[in-house]
Amino acid sequence: MESISTTAATATFITPEEVLQHWQGHRDLTRRLIVAFPEEQLFNYSIGGMRTFAEMAQELISIAAPGVIGIVKGTWEKLDHDRPSFSSKKELLERWDEATEVINEYWPKIKPERFHEQEKAFGQYDGTVYSSILYFIDNEIHHRGQGYVYLRSLGIEPPFFWDRP
């Protein structure tokens, strides 16, 4: 019987390009969620002590592009997502789009063997490179779900969660 690690290294379930396409589908959906928010509620509305969606979006921006750059370069900046680096929805969307461009620029530079290497993402999270990437995606889905709750509580229909390119 073949070992799991050998199988993982030789079997291809999904290519790096398909992972990027999947992630960008989620990023596009999250962007449409941001667009659906009224400006004031984006920065001031929360439920049950959760952060505002602008603060959650700042976290996602702080992880995505810097995460891919860290994977490519093997060096990591400290994760800093405490306060939004924008003060309007327009600025948030600009930062979101800039991060998307950086991801698209750096993603092809990830060497295939790199996905299975151990890494300490942002200098604090041990795991494989692919587990970090999956975390980046999972974290975005998690926070987008919180954004859906916010929009529904405001009486706003969010974009369909399955409607991803």
Q: Which residue, among 79, 45, 42, 77, has the nearest Cα to 60 in the 3D structure? A: 79
CA nearest to 30, candidates 103, 106, 138, 110: 138
Q: What is the mean pLDDT of the chain?
A: 90
For residue 97, is it left (φ>0), alpha (ψ between -120 and 50) or beta? alpha
> For residues 115-138, b (16+ Cβ closer than 10 Å) or e, as one string?
beeebebbeeeeebbbbbbebbbe
pLDDT of residue 147: 97
Taking the complete model, does pTM exceed 0.85, yes or no? yes
pLDDT at 10 (0 to 100): 62
Tell me: pLDDT of 109 over 90. yes
Angle at 99 between CA 149 and CA 40, to 5 degrees: 40
